[in-house]
Chains A and B, each alone.
Chain A
């Protein structure tokens, strides 16, 4: 061995070899400088704007019939089981399964827990970086303030969505570092009132940064404004004041592991006052921004009756109309028009006009009579035998095709009934390919089995016989290959909603004598072609005037008005929960006409399609996925799950 080391001749070889290897440490530095990292997102306004838009990208796609639980998870709309697959993008359970009683905690359907916390993390990253004036060097102070305000309000909205769905939630105001100890990541839920105050605070502090109106309509419409922010706050405080979270003893035992109660069980009247103020503030700023209830420019080729319908249809489906408080520019309603559209003639193909969205009978019954009062309270009209057959007269031809035989219940209804719903014999004015002149001899629905509206072809059909005309924009063109639609920005919040919120809150806060209630309800009723509440009730309801002095009666009246005005816009699903009435409303049959029948006598028989069950208090709140508790042991589950 010795002579190896002593031999001097070996050293050059060894040195050469070691040199070759040691010079190689740099060989492993393969990553060049300027590989994109998150810092690159905040170098310039141009890059940071993308992050701003990223924060916006988590807003719900509420025009999506599959994504918005407000459509299919409750009792307002029903779809045929045969074409379930067309709604089932997840290949498993979908929103409709909530309506069918299949919600579960292992893999909650339609939960937003993960996605909204992701949204909040993105917002926090944006806020941290944009607050730092050293970053995004080319951002003007005004713009910086506006961006910060927008993202703060977005963050508030994402929190609101979580609160609405899960009740009390963990507040993540500042991002927790990914390398933080696990104990720090194990956040626990905050009491509901704290969550509400925190979220409202986010809006309050950002208000001044937001514009009242969007001036650059071509490029910015859909961005957050003061009316939007205040409307979100109004919705938040209305939620907080509502029976589900205000004095609900069901949540007495919903506490954190350390015993902190998460929902106060004592009723607090002042929450309604706060809600009323917030709604009024939103209305004031909205009106200051020039918003008003939509009315269509009357068409000379249409009868007044149809012009009235066009006003009501346009309130939702007219793009960026005057009563849009918040239109979702990233969720245009296109596909849903095809899903709602019925086959008005044999030239309409069911795979383009799917006709699948159907209103259950109870929703159709919600609409008033032509006198603006509930069917069962109208002393001048008799609706006791709802399916009694009656033939439409010439005078009624703009509502029901002349000479067509249909059920009693489809006659003598308020304009919103005809504007929102298509039904067997009901006229359905569409601008394109109109077979008549204006609304004379125009399209009407023929929905009995084997008729064009109910061929059963391709498995597309309407389960109840009530089609959702409201969601279809009047310019839809049907052809054999594809429907052309003019998509409209989804009306996430419209002015009528604020009026109804305000009326509801004022009745709760000040009682039925407050004139503000009927002032705002009547604005909506007048637009709907109805008399004011007092006039209608005085004229058509026994003891009408007296009934309007009862707070509970007026509460039901406001709720009904809300149900009618906001029908099929995804509001009822959340309202029933907020009012804590879902246990009654969602525990009953879904029914419709007997659509498999050919003859009027057979068709106009009420048929129970499904018996819904709603387990209270469990189903009022979403389950948090079971897996979350195994990861975060500080988290507690909602009652019943």
Chain B
């Protein structure tokens, strides 16, 4: 029933798509009288929308559509003028062109960016600024460059935006957002460190950005320095990402439609050893620690399994990954938009429908499908109303909805259950004929045996197949966002003065339900070693082990999450030019109120609020000398009254050398040379954990469980709850502040090569930290915090591009490079004795990790006995030969936490870079993008079992926790210390069937360089000639094929290095995509 419903929905979408095509096709074909001119206008990346096409000396004019195509009917002797902000205007005399047979002229235009343009504007905080007059560090990107074969925009940022450090750590649909930081990690506090994201002025989450369609974006800017972010005062310290969506274009209704169909598969699957090796090594692991240990697998079992002829239900040989994971999956994306309008009103309406499928191999045992299917649909309606000659209102409504269907638990659990399931003790299921009367599926399982021949505490193994098919979870999220913006030109009062009001409401909700049955498990018995009979394991009888099976579904509701935001802002802007003096001013006031319907506690349920006034004053002389002053005066509800408001000023200056008169002769070579500098202060109120919002209040639970009870009979005893304190009041806690100096330079050569380079230094202070200096004799129940920490970061952002057009095409080469590093300057830490200086954090990067220095593997037990004691690390398993030997850094004869040192590179990349090219020749275009991260290290998680989050479990084989058992990686099987081959530098230490914590601690043994360079994206496009398109009645048609994550170069081979230590997680996806873009 359920899947039928989904199919219906999908069909509806497909049918509507064809209907839509039909309707718009029917509108075509009206004859015109004048000469027809058709063509497209492109820049180095692709079609340019909104380019003005006029005929010199007439009133005839139009503009290009969303894909850069235009149609104009004009007198045969006219001259076409093609102009657009930020580009060099071009003229085309029609007489120089020859019409096609049908009399239609085709003029395709390639626009060249005019970096020297006086009119190009950039979106900045609460407004726009002429690019030439900017003094701050802002990266902008052509939204087209953000298009890619993915439905997640966050994956398109790294390497394309100078100043953004980014990486992706998982590929599960719906949970595949890339992490990104503007200029790296500025703070090591527990609070917000990622940038503020504003989409049309709406504060948005990373998920909102992820779901945004590149097609709908009109501008994308990253504000990096203090001057740019100052107007966001309290929230701008970690950088700001500003996105504006498209507005309606006046004129005839234009339709665009794009659809992508992708096939995606894992970039890299972990390589596990075959099951014969698995069993042999499991035996080795058991014996090598204690020769008296019983063998987990008998030689008979190994031999029979190896023979390949034994009954596979008696001697199972599962490859769980193959059994529950497919090689590839198929995803679709549909995107359409309509724009048009007249004098009074313009509109841009866009709709998106994406289907992302998971990669699970789900048997059709039931009519529900538990494979991940994430359907994401959104609608965006941007309507502009010109109410009066001076009043303009924008009504924007955005609705974004995710419908998720997937396996029980989280999607990646399936993946991990496959990795952490025993492969040889039971088959995934038995054929129904073994129990003809039984209707339910005969899932295989066995009771976990620690001591052979006996059963233990009712644990069954995890059967990943059963867990995958036994039920499904559905969740729905929605985000509704109506917004109104009114712009009033106040030129009646003062020329250049404008007022603006904007307000929005955001409602987000999410809920989930799970339905599933408890599988009936069976195990196989045999007398003759071949024919089998089945034993019920969990039928509820006296010998029942595990949860009793059920034929019917049970039901569970997940958390329901409802949030609501109300935001208003009012601003006045002033812009005026007096001869060579350019003056602008801006003053804005904001109010923000955010509520959560399921905050979980009284204090968390209180509204989150921000209030503030910000302003900007700029003065420029002759576009040569530029100055700017910004401030934010912001308040937050989080702090004590005396600290609630913070003032965050900044100043900037700029100098455009190329606008000097003496430079004029050189402008053919150096078309732009500009120097910029800024210094300012930003704040951050989102410090500490969310539940610790009101630092100035204590948090007391007057009804905590830790009480006592008294009385003769425990059943009727008189008990009262106890009282606990989870936070002590501290009225001194205040803003985290960052002071940033930015020096930048913009350089353009020959009007073709552009360079922008910014270098910065940032000092973040007042970082909230737990006070380590409070002795435990104080008896505090909760730690106390203070604004103590100081961190210093610095770095360089660099971007360059080169564009060149020639007769039948153009080429553009581009590159970005971001380097961001930080150092802890002050850290609340104890005073260590001289021999423990290695423990100080100060002087290290906040993302640098601590670990033990591994020397090698112990050669034998004698060496263990004669080395510094590692008992403190060993837990309950004694250290033996073949375990990792650590260096006694403080020379006290024992290895313990004091011997850890900071090692290696930070755990988040310090360098993110990318480079690529786009080129077009006649009807073909091609582009490629490489992306890399460098200066990053991570620990391979070598052991331990994390049942809360399986992905945090390690690679150590054969560990049994509950029903889970870790698998054997081929690399471990191939290269480990064994008694026969005592290689002190083997990849993996001595095997063990029980945890060996000594080998699992973070140490240089497991430290790996996470640098990589990958071919992130390639795309090949084909745009049929205009004639052909006209025959089809299409203004635009482009067919393209693209691919993502084709290959990666890295020293690290176990898994995709981009996911760092999360190797046992849902892998990143390699994607092949076929798409069509149609414009009408």
A contact set with B: CB distance below 8 Å:
1, 3-4, 7, 9-10, 13-14, 17-18, 20-21, 24-25, 27-32, 35-38, 40-41, 47, 49-51, 53-54, 56-57, 59, 82, 84, 88, 92-93, 97, 102, 104, 106-107, 113-114, 117-122, 170, 172, 175-176, 178, 182, 185-187, 217-223, 319-320, 329-330, 332, 351, 455-459, 480, 487, 489, 625-628, 630-633, 635
Identify which of A28, A97, A185, A487 gathers the most chain B CB atoms within 10 Å of its CB: A28
Neighbouring A residues of B781 by C-beta, 8 Å: 118, 121-122
Q: Are B721 and A459 in contact (CB under 8 A)?
A: no
Chain A proximity of B648: nearest CB distance (Å): 15
Assuming A104-B896, A114-B776, is B720 touching A49 (CB within 8 A)? yes
B600: CB under 8 A from chain A?
A: no
Neighbouring A residues of B532 by C-beta, 8 Å: none
Q: Are B708 and A1 in contact (CB under 8 A)?
A: no
30 contacts between A and B (CB under 8 A): A4-B574, A9-B492, A10-B497, A13-B572, A18-B589, A20-B589, A21-B613, A24-B611, A31-B603, A32-B606, A35-B603, A36-B702, A37-B698, A50-B723, A57-B722, A88-B876, A104-B872, A106-B872, A118-B780, A121-B778, A170-B777, A185-B773, A186-B775, A219-B710, A219-B717, A456-B451, A457-B451, A626-B898, A627-B830, A630-B832
Q: Are B454 and A320 in contact (CB under 8 A)?
A: no
**In the complex, given contacts A54-B706, A185-B774, A222-B710, what are 20 additional A-B residue pairs having Cβ atoms less than 8 angstroms apart?**
A4-B494, A9-B493, A13-B490, A36-B701, A47-B702, A50-B721, A53-B719, A57-B722, A88-B876, A106-B898, A113-B777, A119-B779, A178-B774, A185-B775, A218-B718, A221-B712, A319-B712, A351-B456, A631-B773, A631-B775
A4, B607: Cα distance in complex, Å: 39
Q: Can you name the residue of chain B whose Cβ is closest to the Cβ of A105?
A: B896
Q: Which 3 A-B pairs have the closest CB atoms?
A: A121-B779, A630-B830, A54-B722
Q: Are B712 and A218 in contact (CB under 8 A)?
A: yes
Neighbouring A residues of B103 by C-beta, 8 Å: none
B609: CB under 8 A from chain A?
A: yes
Neighbouring B residues of A9 by C-beta, 8 Å: 492-494
Chain B proximity of A10: nearest CB distance (Å): 6
Q: Can you name the residue of chain B whose Cβ is closest to the Cβ of A50?
A: B720
B10: CB under 8 A from chain A?
A: no
B637: CB under 8 A from chain A?
A: yes
B740: CB under 8 A from chain A?
A: no
Identify which of B574, B777, B831 gathers the most chain A CB atoms within 10 Å of its CB: B777
Chain A proximity of B500: nearest CB distance (Å): 11
What's the A-B contact tally at a CB cutoff of 8 Å?
241
A221, B712: Cα distance in complex, Å: 6
B591: CB under 8 A from chain A?
A: yes
Q: Can you name the residue of chain A whose Cβ is closest to the Cβ of B997?
A: A92
Chain B proximity of A328: nearest CB distance (Å): 10
Q: Are A459 and B456 in contact (CB under 8 A)?
A: yes
Q: Can you name the residue of chain A whose Cβ is closest to the Cβ of B581?
A: A1
Q: Are B708 and A187 in contact (CB under 8 A)?
A: no
Neighbouring B residues of A32 by C-beta, 8 Å: 606
B583-618, CB under 8 A of A: which get 1 and which 0?
A: 101010101000000000011001111011100000
A335, B719: Cα distance in complex, Å: 21
Assuming A4-B494, A457-B455, A632-B775, is B780 touching A178 (CB within 8 A)? yes
B772: CB under 8 A from chain A?
A: yes
Q: Are B714 and A487 in contact (CB under 8 A)?
A: yes
Q: Are A56 and B876 in contact (CB under 8 A)?
A: no
Q: Are B455 and A458 in contact (CB under 8 A)?
A: yes
Neighbouring B residues of A332 by C-beta, 8 Å: 714
Neighbouring B residues of A30 by C-beta, 8 Å: 606-609, 637
Q: Are A121 and B780 in contact (CB under 8 A)?
A: yes
A219, B708: Cα distance in complex, Å: 11
B457: CB under 8 A from chain A?
A: yes
B contact set with A: CB distance below 8 Å:
450-451, 454-458, 490, 492-494, 497, 499, 542, 570, 572, 574, 583, 585, 587, 589, 591, 602-603, 606-609, 611-613, 635-637, 644-645, 694, 697-698, 700-703, 706-714, 716-725, 728-729, 772-781, 784, 830-832, 871-872, 875-876, 896-898, 997
Assuming A24-B611, A49-B720, A627-B830, is B777 touching A632 (CB within 8 A)? yes
A633, B831: Cα distance in complex, Å: 9
Q: Are B780 and A330 in contact (CB under 8 A)?
A: no
Q: Are A176 and B778 in contact (CB under 8 A)?
A: yes
Of the candidates B456, B493, B720, B724, which one forms a contact with A10 in the assembled complex, judged by CB atoms under 8 Å apart? Answer: B493
Q: Are B707 and A117 in contact (CB under 8 A)?
A: no
Of the candidates B454, B457, B700, B777, which one forms a contact with A36 in the assembled complex, judged by CB atoms under 8 Å apart? Answer: B700
Q: Are A178 and B707 in contact (CB under 8 A)?
A: no
Neighbouring B residues of A117 by C-beta, 8 Å: 776-779
Neighbouring A residues of B713 by C-beta, 8 Å: 218
Q: Are A57 and B707 in contact (CB under 8 A)?
A: yes
Chain A proximity of B600: nearest CB distance (Å): 15
Neighbouring B residues of A29 by C-beta, 8 Å: 637
Assuming A13-B572, A50-B702, A186-B775, is B637 touching A28 (CB within 8 A)? yes
Identify which of A40, A54, A84, A633 gathers the most chain B CB atoms within 10 Å of its CB: A54
Chain B proximity of A262: nearest CB distance (Å): 15
Neighbouring A residues of B723 by C-beta, 8 Å: 38, 41, 50-51, 54
Chain A proximity of B892: nearest CB distance (Å): 10
Of the candidates A18, A54, A82, A88, which one forms a contact with B707 in the assembled complex, judged by CB atoms under 8 Å apart? Answer: A54
A17, B590: Cα distance in complex, Å: 10
Neighbouring A residues of B607 by C-beta, 8 Å: 30
A14, B613: Cα distance in complex, Å: 12
Q: Can you name the residue of chain A whose Cβ is closest to the Cβ of B455?
A: A458
Neighbouring B residues of A56 by C-beta, 8 Å: 707-708
Q: Are A459 and B454 in contact (CB under 8 A)?
A: yes
Assuming A93-B875, A632-B775, A635-B775, is B710 touching A28 (CB within 8 A)? no
Q: Are B710 and A223 in contact (CB under 8 A)?
A: yes
Neighbouring A residues of B830 by C-beta, 8 Å: 627, 630-631
Assuming A37-B697, A92-B875, is B635 touching A25 (CB within 8 A)? yes
Neighbouring A residues of B613 by C-beta, 8 Å: 18, 21
A223, B719: Cα distance in complex, Å: 12
Q: Can you name the residue of chain B whose Cβ is closest to the Cβ of A47?
A: B702
Q: Are B494 and A10 in contact (CB under 8 A)?
A: yes
Q: Are B718 and A172 in contact (CB under 8 A)?
A: no
Q: Can you name the residue of chain B whose Cβ is closest to the Cβ of A350?
A: B454
A404, B450: Cα distance in complex, Å: 33
Assuming A35-B603, A630-B830, is B636 touching A28 (CB within 8 A)? yes
Q: Can you name the residue of chain A whose Cβ is closest to the Cβ of B944?
A: A91
Q: Can you name the residue of chain A whose Cβ is closest to the Cβ of B717?
A: A329
Chain B proximity of A396: nearest CB distance (Å): 34
Q: Are A17 and B589 in contact (CB under 8 A)?
A: yes
Chain B proximity of A176: nearest CB distance (Å): 6
Neighbouring B residues of A57 by C-beta, 8 Å: 706-708, 722
Chain A proximity of B835: nearest CB distance (Å): 13
Chain B proximity of A547: nearest CB distance (Å): 44
Q: Are B589 and A172 in contact (CB under 8 A)?
A: no
Assuming A35-B602, A93-B875, A118-B779, is B711 touching A329 (CB within 8 A)? yes
A217, B455: Cα distance in complex, Å: 45
A264, B494: Cα distance in complex, Å: 90
Chain A proximity of B565: nearest CB distance (Å): 14
Neighbouring B residues of A320 by C-beta, 8 Å: 712
Neighbouring B residues of A351 by C-beta, 8 Å: 456-458
Chain B proximity of A608: nearest CB distance (Å): 16
Chain B proximity of A159: nearest CB distance (Å): 12
A117, B451: Cα distance in complex, Å: 43
A276, B499: Cα distance in complex, Å: 90
Q: Can you name the residue of chain B whose Cβ is closest to the Cβ of A481?
A: B542
Q: Are B611 and A38 in contact (CB under 8 A)?
A: no
Q: Are A24 and B591 in contact (CB under 8 A)?
A: yes
A97, B877: Cα distance in complex, Å: 11
Chain B proximity of A79: nearest CB distance (Å): 12
Chain B proximity of A419: nearest CB distance (Å): 24
Neighbouring B residues of A93 by C-beta, 8 Å: 875-876
A219, B592: Cα distance in complex, Å: 52
A27, B602: Cα distance in complex, Å: 18
